[in-house]
Amino acid sequence: MTDPRTAQAPAILWFRSDLRLADNPALSAAIESGRPVVPLFVLDDDTPGAWAPGGAQRWWLHQSLEALSETLQRHEASLVLRTGNAAEVLPQVAQETGAAAVYWNRLYEPWANARDAEIKADLKQRGVQVESFNARLLFEPWTPKTGSGQPYKVFTPFWKALQKLAPPPAPLPAPATVPTGPTIKSDRLADWGLLPGTPKAKEPDWAGGLRAHWTPGEQGARERLNAFLDTWLPHYDETRNRPDKPGTSRMSPHLHFGEIGPRQIWAAVQHRMDARNDAQNAATAYLQEIGWREFSYHLLYWWPSLPEETWKDNFKRFPWADDPDGLRAWQRGITGYPIVDAGMRELYRTGWMHNRVRMIVGSFLVKDLLIHWREGEAWFWDTLVDADLASNAASWQWIAGCGADAAPYFRIFNPVTQGQKFDPEGAYVRHWVPEIARLPDKYLHAPWTAPDRVLADARVRLGTTYPQPIVDHKAARQRALDAFQQIKQG
Ligand code: FAD
């Protein structure tokens, strides 16, 4: 064991949601300390049950750790994997390695804030230095404050305030080498059972669609960002609402796992803006979406109960329906509304869904079916590769009309007109709902309006090959508005 009092005592770099080498301030600081580095990842078993990573996240985590481990090996360092309660694992690894310091990048989930503060205090008491950094956000979530020193509840002034701050620091380069610390025992990633279809996971391999769509890891993130910047960024303001086009960046899972940081994206987009005059509006619109991510973290920081509790008090009395059949039809993508079913199937197959369609399926669940937004939040948590406590909770509360700066409750998306507007040629629906692909465009988003002859020609038998709509949208809309009337006061 190394003597912790010497400069050669190692530093532990505790990787968490920052699975990258570039723009990783904790890693850079660990290396700058001149100590050998022990890279560590802990599969925590102390996350509150409901927020343990869902199936899609576990799949991604496996791939991302594999990629990180390979990258570290190329830098002649080995990633140490441990399971357990982080509050116990950290001091134990510090003792095993004789570490004099631990470096990490901050998390902002409420349980992690409290736990990390305890770990920090405990390590310091043991004489181990601890330093933490921000790698996850452009700015710390507590930084922007209103003139009266309060947190923001509305996005636009929040975004304006953010833009008035000094620009985010330039991203740090990836280190050329990671000085190797002592070798200690590590779990085998394969034994963690994160992948479906392995004996330990005890579930069939449902991840084929995920494998086909994603390349987790720092390099995959970089390549996807560059492809987006080259091809789609200049058109982002026009195409970002079109699920039939690959017009958005699909950075969300890479950002969630920290394979890329928002400061890297910010800098890369600024660079393109400087180079191309025609991309200004599009780039501004894109950066604003990164701003929504910051806003979600701001809300979660100030209202830590956001993922569990309805933000607006009057919505706590909302007469939500108990409708397990409706919920199951929504989850499986068999509601009879093609754009809703396409979205839910895209989600199940690929672990991702286009933002416009997330809004449509979200509105359908909470307004057409009157099912509690927390059911939607939970399903997304389990199935999204980008499932993120802050963005998921803030977005579900937004769509349900009960969150901060939320869509007004009476704004109820019409799944037929939304489909016609944002998937006008029907390419998205035809891809994900092939059983109605032969319908002409005119009837594709509302098959029940097609004459019998047209249905027969398209080989569609409603109620057999494709469901009848599970609710009548017009009646469901009125039911939702009536329910809203009940809680309007207060
Ligand atoms: P782009 O359009 O390329 O945007 C770039 C980045 O900006 C995204 O990667 C994301 O980090 C951020 N961003 C974009 N829109 C939003 C938004 N509305 N709120 C917060 N950040 C945003 N996003 C998640 O990352 N995790 C979630 O769990 C999540 N759940 C959602 C649930 C619902 C009901 C809704 C309506 C939206 C949810 N979103 C969530 C927000 C948004 O749909 C995704 O971030 C976006 O679709 C990701 O695709 P992209 O990377 O191609 O986005």
**CATH dotted code for 8-135:** 3.40.50.620
Q: How remote is the CA of residue 4 from the centroid of ligand 1, in Å? A: 44
Q: Express each pLDDT in 253-279 by its tens digit.
A: 999 999 999 999 999 999 988 887 778
Residue in 297, 321, 32 with CA at minimum distance from that of residue 178: 32
Q: Is 388 annotated as a binding residue?
A: yes
Q: How remote is the CA of residue 2 from the centroid of ligand 1, in Å? A: 45
Q: Which residues have CB under 6 Å of ligand 1?
A: 240, 248-252, 255-256, 289-290, 292-293, 296, 355, 358-359, 362, 380, 384, 386-388, 391-392, 395-396, 399
C-alpha to C-alpha distance for 161 and 146, rounded to whole angstroms:
8
CATH class for the region spanning 137-169+218-302: mainly alpha
Q: Are 224 and 215 in contact (CB under 8 A)?
A: yes
Ligand 1 nearest-atom number relative to CA 296: 20
Q: Express each pLDDT in 362-394 by its tens digit.
A: 999 999 999 999 999 999 999 999 999 999 999
Half-sphere exposure (Cβ direction) of 223: Cα atoms closer than 13 Å: 7
For ligand 1, atom 48, which residue shows the shortest CA distance?
Answer: 252
Establish whether domains 137-169+218-302 and 313-485 are of one fold: no
C-alpha to C-alpha distance for 75 and 282, rounded to whole angstroms:
37
For ligand 1, atom 11, which residue shows the shortest CA distance?
Answer: 252
For ligand 1, atom 37, which residue shows the shortest CA distance?
Answer: 395
- ipTM of model: 0.99
Ligand 1 nearest-atom number relative to CA 262: 11
313-485 has CATH 3.40.50.2000 classification: no
Instruction: Determine the pLDDT at residue 4.
Output: 47
Catalytic positions are: 289, 292, 320, 355, 373, 396
Domain boundaries, the chain: 8-135, 137-169+218-302, 313-485
Residue 38 forms beta bridges with which residues? 12
Q: How remote is the CA of residue 387 from the centroid of ligand 1, in Å? A: 9
Q: Is 359 annotated as a binding residue?
A: no
Instruction: Determine the pLDDT at residue 58.
Output: 96
Instruction: Determine the pLDDT at residue 46.
Output: 73
Instruction: Determine the pLDDT at residue 3.
Output: 45
Q: How remote is the CA of residue 338 from the centroid of ligand 1, in Å? A: 22
For ligand 1, atom 2, which residue shows the shortest CA distance?
Answer: 248
Q: Express each pLDDT in 414-444 by its tens digit.
A: 999 999 999 999 999 999 999 999 999 999 9
Half-sphere exposure (Cβ direction) of 396: Cα atoms closer than 13 Å: 25
Q: Is 152 annotated as a binding residue?
A: no
Q: How remote is the CA of residue 353 from the centroid of ligand 1, in Å? A: 9
Q: Is 387 annotated as a binding residue?
A: yes
Q: How remote is the CA of residue 10 from the centroid of ligand 1, in Å? A: 38
Q: Is 251 annotated as a binding residue?
A: yes
Number of CB atoms found within 10 A of residue 218's CB: 22
Ligand 1 binding pocket mutation candidate from 239, 284, 391 (most atoms within 8 A of CB) = 391
* Cα→Cα distances 180→3, 12, 19, 95, 189, Å: 16, 11, 18, 17, 20
Question: Which stretches in the chain have pLDDT values below 50?
Answer: 1-5
Is the pTM of the predicted complex or chain greater than 0.95?
yes
